[in-house]
Amino acid sequence: MLYELKRGRVEFITFTELSDDYVMYDVPKSTLFECNENQYNFRNNTYVSDKLVFVVLDIINFSNVFGDKNRLALYVRNDMVLIVSVKDSDNSIKKTFEAVVSYYDNEEHVVKGRGDKRYINTFPEKFLYHFLDILIVNDRRLLENMEHNMSLLEDDILNEAINTNFINEILSIKKELMYIWNYYDQLADVGEILYDNETDMFPDNNIRGFDVFSKRVQRLMENVKQLKEYAVQLQETQDAILSYSLNNIMKLFTVVTAIFLPLSLIVGWYGMNFSNMPELSWKYGYLSVVILSVMIVVLCMVFFKRKGLI
């Protein structure tokens, strides 16, 4: 998909098309290898020269954070933005490009009717800014949904309604947040590279959008950081409640032991069976020991009750 702009053009192609025609697009052949290198970790391999900025981005799917990532490559020149779909399993990259075109179409910036070409009344750098911005436009809502789910976990903790999978859920959330943070980190780097405009590729008044994009990504990173801290607090709260419950159980056992300890002393005392123990031959000996034991238990329970231990 090719669109002429006020200065230069913007085009969306697949990696196969780039591989076949990289000479026509005048891009370094070495960048083709960069596009397919290291499919597992987030990184933004960059190539910056006087005439070209090359960036590789990995795009995650929030509905399946640990699923396969999509990947795109950006070739940016003063008169060209080339968006290459390296891996786009769900067509989300292509849909993002079409969303930018629709934005300009709704703003009546798209001019039709010059042969088989289409024109957009904007500059390459502004089109690129809107493309990057649409990549994160719904992310705040998605992070809010994650926060809501975490708050439900907190309610379960406070209501002592947690299940055995709680630890796995918390660890999974923390891992997802770390993954998302790395994703935003690469986007922030891209925004900063484009905003720095070290080679004066774009007019200064046209690159402010990249600064806005970088700041938005940094705010999202701050939100992710807060969610990570929230997850840690949830785990600490759960540990505190478990410790409190365990302490209550141990306190109960201690009280029970303290109540029956005098009885154990009585049993041990009269279990010695010395021949000169008068209580053994007294006809009220058994009854007196029973009454004494009951009194000791009652007195201990009253004492512990007043101390708030039971």
Confidence of residue 49 (pLDDT cuts 50, 70, 90): confident
Give the Cα separation of 210 and 196 in Å (integer): 9
C-alpha to C-alpha distance for 174 and 232, rounded to whole angstroms: 8
Q: What is the pLDDT of residue 34?
A: 82
The pLDDT confidence band at residue 103, using thresholds 50, 70 and 90, is confident
What is the tens place of the pLDDT at every residue in 291-310? 888 888 888 888 878 877 76
Q: How confident is the model at residue 153 (pLDDT cuts 50, 70, 90)?
A: confident
The confidence score (pLDDT) of residue 161 equals: 66
pLDDT of 89: 87
Q: What is the mean pLDDT of residues 247-259?
A: 83
pLDDT-based confidence at residue 226 (cuts at 50, 70, 90):
very high
Within this chain, domains 1-135 and 253-306 share the same CATH topology: no
Chain segment 254-289, per-residue pLDDT in tens: 888 888 888 888 888 777 767 777 777 777 777 888
pTM: 0.76
Kindly indicate the confidence band of residue 220, based on its pLDDT and cuts at 50, 70 and 90: very high
Give the closest residue to 84 by CA, choosing from 32, 40, 139: 32
* Dist. CA 115–CA 218, nearest whole Å: 43
- Domain segments of the chain: what residues? 1-135, 253-306
Q: How far is CA 233 from the centre of its chain?
A: 14
Alpha-carbon distance of 276 to 241, in angstroms, equals 55
Rounded to the nearest integer, the mean pLDDT of the chain is 83
- Angle 230-234-235 from CA coordinates, rounded to 5°: 120
Please report the pLDDT score of residue 12 as a whole number. Answer: 93
How is domain 253-306 classified at the CATH fold level?
Methane Monooxygenase Hydroxylase; Chain G, domain 1 (1.20.58)
Give the pLDDT of residue 102. 85
Lowest mean pLDDT among 10-14, 22-26, 84-88: 22-26
- 1-135: CATH topology is Beta Polymerase; domain 2 (3.30.460)
More confident residue, 223 or 31: 223
pLDDT at 26: 85
